[in-house]
Amino acid sequence: MKKVITYGTFDLFHEGHYKLLQRAKSLGDYLIVGVTTEHFDEARGKVNVIDPIMERIENVKRTGFADEIIVEDHDGQKIEDIQKYGVDIFVLGSDWMGTYDYLKAFCEVVYLERTPDISSTILRNKSFQIVRTGIVGTGRIAPRFVSEAKYVSGIHLVRAFNPEEKSARQFAKRCEIEYDTENYEKFLQKVDAVYIASPNETHYDYTKRALESGKHVLCEKPVAFTRKEAEELYALAKEKQLVLLEAVKTAYCPGFQQLLNVAHSGKIGEIKDVEATFTRLADPKSRERTDAEYGGSFLEFGSYTLLPIIKLLGQNYQALHFNSICNEEGLDLYTKLQLEYPNGMASAKMGVGVKSEGQLVIAGTKGYILAPSPWWLTRRFEVHYENPNQVETYEPNFQGDGLRYEISEFVSKINGINKKDYKLTAGEAITMAAITEEFMKRKHK
């Protein structure tokens, strides 16, 4: 019996998929089809897949060509499967020509001509409304957004806004887009959504005005400095049925999701302590080191360190204790925040002028999770137990610099997919703003 195997995402099942399976089956007697998991697709940078895995499997089944359907969830699985199932022929479409030649050491490799003019990407682009996006602020983060947005279907950067003419002009020229410098409302009229990457103190105002104009908002952290402001923004978004996401990129990264799931799974018992550290020495002349009001360690990195704490211990902390090392102007070069919870505790350490080990440690009653720097991208984490020889290592895939995951979430939400908030809920974002408010109050005392 000749066994054939092929793999795919099979999203929005189309004629190209049908024909490929038909021809693959005709090459042998028994066809095995590997369907990718969402997690695997997300991790290899294929974001925005629409159909859930069960629906994609169901569609493959319905063709009647597959004798067996398996799930593909990790790199290197193809060789494992070929050996496990005794496969004779590995088949893929011609878009993969050459990529899998290394499998020739194990079986025959056949690339079949792709069906022209159809792909899941084309269908996704058609089924998603095209989100004409404007970028507010054209500083350091803006170019990264542009390069990462290319990996997400359905988002198009069309305009930039920055009151500083020179910066706006240079950026717009580089991206071949239009720009505005004066009238924000007029700028808003020409877009469906905005990505706000302007200085921290302008986030609330730009976000509010965008929501009032009926535009979806992806806003860099912190979205607001007080609980009241954050509540107001999220209530406004809800009332207007608009998407408001705070761009804490870690929250949307697949590796971080996995880390949270492992932590919640009971493997390390009850979670009692979370310690998160993020330091990056900033140039002494930079805004982060000179703007005593809106720069400094906490406002720069607080959202990152608070994220795992709030995700794991919740929003109902009982007390906060801040300690900062400040420069003469009162800017915090280093801040340590201790949080007390009814059944646990946490600490967050942030630095722009003091360097420390940037790690995340989650301590439980049965063991602990250690995620080394850069844990905020979560490329690796380990589960440790009392027995020092027992260590489980996780190395989630991670593509680009992480922004594509939050952009993908934003576009999916605008298109009505992922209606429920799990990754960063309004409540969690509001709690972060409330803690920021406490920090600001103490700073001004």
Site for ligand CTP, rule CB under 6 A: 8-11, 16-17, 20, 92-93, 95, 114-115, 118-121
The residue among 118 and 235 lying less far from ligand CTP, judged by its C-beta, is 118
| Residue 99 Cβ vs ligand CTP, minimum distance, rounded to whole Å | 11
Distance between CA atoms of residues 368 and 383, nearest Å: 6
Residue 331 sits at the vertex; the CA angle it makes with 325 and 335, to the nearest 5 degrees, is 40
The residue among 92 and 312 lying less far from ligand CTP, judged by its C-beta, is 92
The residue among 20 and 361 lying less far from ligand CTP, judged by its C-beta, is 20
The residue among 250 and 412 lying less far from ligand CTP, judged by its C-beta, is 412
Burial 262-282 (b: 16+ CB within 10 A, else e): bbeeeebeebbbbbbbbbeeb
| Residue 41 Cβ vs ligand CTP, minimum distance, rounded to whole Å | 9
| Residue 100 Cβ vs ligand CTP, minimum distance, rounded to whole Å | 10
Work out whether strand 360-364 and strand 271-279 pair parallel, antiparallel, or are unpaired: antiparallel
Query: Dihedral angle at the C-alpha atoms of 53, 59, 65, 67, nearest 10 degrees?
Result: 40
Q: Which of 81, 63, 64 is nearest to 72 (CA)?
A: 81
For residue 249, the 8-state DSSP code is: G
The residue among 111 and 322 lying less far from ligand CTP, judged by its C-beta, is 111
The residue among 79 and 123 lying less far from ligand CTP, judged by its C-beta, is 123
| Residue 118 Cβ vs ligand CTP, minimum distance, rounded to whole Å | 4
Residue 140 CB: number of other CB atoms within 10 A?
10
Distance between CA atoms of residues 181 and 186, nearest Å: 10
Distance between CA atoms of residues 363 and 174, nearest Å: 47
The residue among 114 and 384 lying less far from ligand CTP, judged by its C-beta, is 114
Distance between CA atoms of residues 144 and 138, nearest Å: 10
| Residue 6 Cβ vs ligand CTP, minimum distance, rounded to whole Å | 6
The residue among 10 and 410 lying less far from ligand CTP, judged by its C-beta, is 10
Q: Which of 426, 170, 221, 197 is nearest to 315 (CA)?
A: 426
Residue nearest ligand CTP, CB atom distance: 93
Q: If residue 345 lies in a helix (H) or strand (E), which one and from where to where?
A: strand 344-351
| Residue 48 Cβ vs ligand CTP, minimum distance, rounded to whole Å | 9
| Residue 9 Cβ vs ligand CTP, minimum distance, rounded to whole Å | 4
Q: Which of 109, 166, 96 is nearest to 138 (CA)?
A: 166
Contact status, residue 235 vs residue 308, Cβ threshold 8 Å:
no
| Residue 20 Cβ vs ligand CTP, minimum distance, rounded to whole Å | 4
